[in-house]
Amino acid sequence: MKVQDFATFKLSDYNISDDYGFILQEPLMPELGIQHLKDYKEKVLARVLLSHIVMGYVWQDADQGVVKVLPRTLAIPYCHLSKILGLPLIMVHADFVLANWKRKDALGPLTMENLSTIVSLPGGNSLQGFVLVTLLVEVAAIPGIKAVVQAIKALLTEDRPTLLQALRNMAQSIQNMGEALQLMYDYVDSDIYYNTIRIFLSGWKDNPSMPNGLLYEGAVDEPLCFSGGSAAQSTVFHVYDELFGINHQPESFDFLLKMRQYMPPAHSSFIDWVKGVPKLSVYVQQSADLDLLSAFNMCVSTLTDVRSLHIRIVSKYVTTAGARARVKGLAAGSGAQHLQERGTGGSLAMTFLKSVRDTCKGGLLKKSTAADC
């Protein structure tokens, strides 16, 4: 280096500020545009990232000192993207699970050992386990979804052999969903779920920690309220309820109906399509075919078993873990107590789950009914 080289020397060439030195001056995130996102998949993945950032920002101090305003640098792109995708302004099941996974080995199977999340919130291995176990439930549902379409086609053409096989395939798929859900006990610590994960999945509707909701700065003029993540946002259970003619109690059904607004619109439309076909239960009853009736009841019974398992999981991970936390003084806040009583989606958790399970069981058909038709 020569003295004359200093004639053009600038600290800024080395990203060094005259006023701040090596410190990055005013390190605030710029407002991000979404105009470069090309297709549906890119937009979905962008929302996955933004949704996790939003939940992390809102719940960074748990339910103590919760923020009331989402900064415009987050709020504006999040609102624009959500409007395009037809999703509410909060993280939903589709963000947290359905689009938040990757294979470790690109050619490997969809198994716990070969899966990882794309984005995570606090909770460590238990958070990853919670997401991936839930994902495996959705993976187990894939053959059942295909069987639903086969069953409807068979119903419309009165093809009993195909309908029977489709129902048996559904029953097996639902059983596999339950086996996948059972993995929750192996991969998720109940105390970590209750004291950490649960908080970051919570919404700002009917939540005393955020009684007025959240203001999306620069995007809306008034605070808005949205329910948090919930298993009720999983489309497959709604599909089965409609196909099997499960008639839930008004309050439970009202909540389930609201949760359909938290699904990708195309998934919700699939539920409507299933709802619009002739009643499968009526056809099975009128057929007087005991094999069909047995297969139908196996589906409903297995679905009831999965919902009973869900109740046991909620009992362990919310009710019992919540009692432990209160004894230890970890859940003294009003918001924590609220979430102990309600699910992250805002429903009265155990009351809702038991109601849904019981009405599901009520969907079983009686042999005498079929024989008398």
Report, as an integer, the average pLDDT of 285-307: 97
Establish if 33 belongs to a structural domain: no
Establish if 156 belongs to a structural domain: yes
- Residue 326, number of CB atoms within 10 A of its CB: 14
Task: Assess whether pLDDT exceeds 70 at residue 10.
Answer: yes
Establish if 28 belongs to a structural domain: no
Indicate the burial class of 239 (C-beta count within 10 angstroms; 0-12, 13-18, 19 or more): buried
Establish if 327 belongs to a structural domain: yes
Indicate the burial class of 368 (C-beta count within 10 angstroms; 0-12, 13-18, 19 or more): exposed
> Domains in the chain: how many in total?
1
* pLDDT value of position 8: 82
Note down the domain range covering 64.
40-226+233-372
Alpha carbon separation from 321 to 123, 227, 268 (Å, rounded): 15, 22, 33
* pLDDT value of position 329: 78
Report, as an integer, the average pLDDT of 44-62: 95
pLDDT tens across 59-88, in order?
A: 998 767 789 999 999 999 999 999 999 999
Distance between CA atoms of residues 350 and 353, nearest Å: 5
* pLDDT value of position 7: 76
Alpha carbon separation from 297 to 221, 306, 338, 360 (Å, rounded): 51, 14, 37, 11
Distance between CA atoms of residues 293 and 334, nearest Å: 49
Which token pair is 356?
């849904």
**Over pLDDT 90: what percentage of the chain?**
80
This prediction has a pTM of 0.90
β-sheet bridge partners, residue 224: 214
Establish if 123 belongs to a structural domain: yes
Q: Compute the mean pLDDT over every residue in the chain, rounded to the nearest whole number.
A: 92
Establish if 14 belongs to a structural domain: no
Higher pLDDT among residues 219 and 346, named by residue: 219
Domain CATH code at residue 196: 1.20.58.480
Report, as an integer, the average pLDDT of 230-254: 97
Whether the Cβ atoms of residue 274 and residue 152 lie closer than 8 Å to each other: yes
pLDDT tens across 345-372, in order?
A: 445 789 999 999 999 999 999 975 444 5
Establish if 26 belongs to a structural domain: no
Instruction: Label residue 344 by pLDDT band (50, 70, 90).
Output: low
Establish if 98 belongs to a structural domain: yes
DSSP 150-207: HHHHHHHHT-HHHHHHHHHHHHHHHHHHHHHHTTHHHH--HHHIIIIIHHHT--SSS-
| Residue 238 counted as an annotated binding residue | no
Q: Which residues, 6 or more positions from 203, have their beta carbon under 8 angstroms from its beta carbon?
A: 90, 225, 226, 227, 228, 229, 344, 345, 346
